[in-house]
Each structure stands twice: as structure tokens, then as C-alpha cells.
Amino acid sequence: MTAAFGTRLEAAFSRYGQLCVGIDPHPYLLGEWGLPATAAGARDFGLRVVEAATGHAPIVKPQVAFYERYGSAGFAALEDVLAAARETDLLVLGDAKRGDIGTTMDSYGDAWFSDDSPLRVDAATAVAYQGLGADAGFIATARAAGRGVFVLAATSNREARLTQTAILQTGSTVAAGIVEGVLADNSPSDQGMGSVGLVLGATVDLADHGIDVGTLRSTPILAPGFGAQGAQFSDIRRLFGAASGSVLVSASRSILSAGPSGVAESIRRASGEVTACLA
């Protein structure tokens, strides 16, 4: 039986640090890499990033949208990238941001977490606009398979602030309510780091969203916003305090812009910087 995702994430952090390498084949990056803006180009791009990250980072994060844009050929390309990553000791976080209700969400769970699925990943992102309870089947499928879920709570896009800082009847913000639900979901069954995590943007004022990072020491945190979006690795401890040891420090364009000949060294350098900032 596959060990719990939180357990495997802790082990990966111990071996390779906390850098999360995005696999984002933006059309402009494909051009800079000398690749066509096609499914084949996105496949080649992803395979090269997987090769470059292996042994130097704990986890890669393919952005599903950049494959989905090519239709069925794009999904076939993504399946090849995921299969290649599964042959390494990298963990794979599918940035799919799925969110729905009932059996629809259950089917998303089958797609991303079932052992026989070509889209199988170690964890996936999900949204909870319909209420965290709507993700229950998705989370249950992940946990039963030893996989994880990262629920969006406080995202780095400015448009989200109005909704995410709105006040619920409980008195919490929407973002803090999601955090509270994830903490409650993790606490009964997980030892060590939980298998349900949160997406908390590194460019967000978390206190302004009513989020106390001190409660998140054992909750995985996917923190986008480093590099191209403005957050610096030196900001990690200031932003996340006592929860810094649980943060997946996510960087994409700032690493990928090094091109095919420089991406491996860019990953090694970024991973070293993250480790130094957390020492």
C-alpha cells in the first residue's frame, strides 16, 4: 500500500529540499526553447524539465491548462510527461484546479488518483467555491490511494481578494474558513504532515485574509508567487514563520526561462537558495 502523501512529502523534503518546479509550457517559453507551440512541443518541454529536476528537487508541478489547450493530443503529451516523472523519485503535483459537486468530483478523483489512470499524480489542486464538503469524495479518493490534495485558499491573483476576504456567518473570512476546514480534515487521521494541503500565495498578506500561519506547521502549503510574480526566496520565513518547513516553494518562469541548456543548473541553484533560506 502506498504511504500517505504527507509522509512521502516529508521524506522528499528531507532528501531534496522544498523547491517545487513548475512545468508551464507557455507558448512564449516554447519559442524561447526552440520548440513549436504544439502538443509535441509541450511534451518535449515537460520531459526535459522532469529530467533536469530529477535528483535536485522533491516535486514538479505540471500546469494542466498548458497541455489541455492542445486537446486530446495535449492530454496524451501530459500523460507521457507524467509517466516519465513516475519513473523517477520526483513527486508530481497536478495543477488542475478541479472543483465541482457530487459524482462529478468523484470522477475527477478517479481521473487523477486511480492507480490505473494515465493521469495519475501524487497530488492535485482543487477549488472549494461550492464548499469544502463538495470536495469530500475527491479528498477521500486521494487519501485512500496515498495521494494528496491542495485546496485553494488565498491565491496570488489580485482579483481574488474581494471574495477571499469576505466574512462568513461564522466570523471567519472565506479563506480562513477553508483553512479551518482543511485543518479539521487532517487532524483525525494523519500522523506528521497532513495529506490535505492549502494553496497560499507568497504575494498575499495572509494576516489580512485572517489566516494564522502558526496553525499550519504540519499542513502542506503550496506557495506560488516566487520568482516572476515578485516574491523572493528570502521572504519565506517572513511570510510563513513557524509553518515554513511545510511550504512547497513554487517557482516556474524564473527557472524555466534559463532555457533547455540552462534549466538543470537553474533548478540546482534555486533549490540551494531555498535550502539556505530555510536553514
Helix (H) or strand (E) holding 46: helix 39-53
Look at residue 156 in the predicted model and tell me its pLDDT. Answer: 87
Catalogue the active-site residues.
Answer: 97
- Cβ-based neighbours of 145, under 8 Å, separated by 6 or more: 2, 113, 114, 115
Distance CA(195)–CA(234), nearest Å, equals 26
pLDDT in tens, the chain (279 residues): 689 999 999 999 999 999 999 999 999 999 999 999 999 999 999 999 999 999 999 999 999 999 999 999 999 999 999 999 999 999 999 999 999 999 999 999 999 999 999 999 999 999 999 999 999 999 999 999 999 999 999 998 889 999 999 999 999 999 999 999 999 988 655 568 999 999 999 999 999 999 999 999 999 999 998 977 888 999 999 999 999 999 999 999 999 999 999 999 999 999 999 999 999
Give CA–CA dist 276/39, Å, rounded: 37
Q: Which CATH class is domain 5-278?
A: alpha beta
At 1 the pLDDT is: 60
Q: Give the pLDDT of residue 2.
A: 80
Q: What was the pLDDT predicted at 159?
A: 93
Find all residues with CB under 8 Å of 15, minimum gap 6, and list them: 58, 89
CB atoms within 10 A of CB 116: 6
The CA distance from 279 to 276, in Å, is 5
Residue (of 116, 123, 120, 70) closest to 97 by Cα position: 123
Task: State how far the Cα of 9 lies from the Cα of 237, in Å rounded to an integer.
Answer: 19
Please name which of 134, 212, 135 lies closest in space to residue 173, comparing C-alpha atoms. Answer: 212
Phi, psi of 95 (to 5 degrees): -85, 80
- Locate the domains of the chain by residue range: 5-278
Query: What residue has cell string 471574495?
Result: 163
Q: Give residue 114's identity as a one-letter amino acid code.
A: S
Whole-angstrom distance, CA of residue 221 vs CA of residue 218? 9
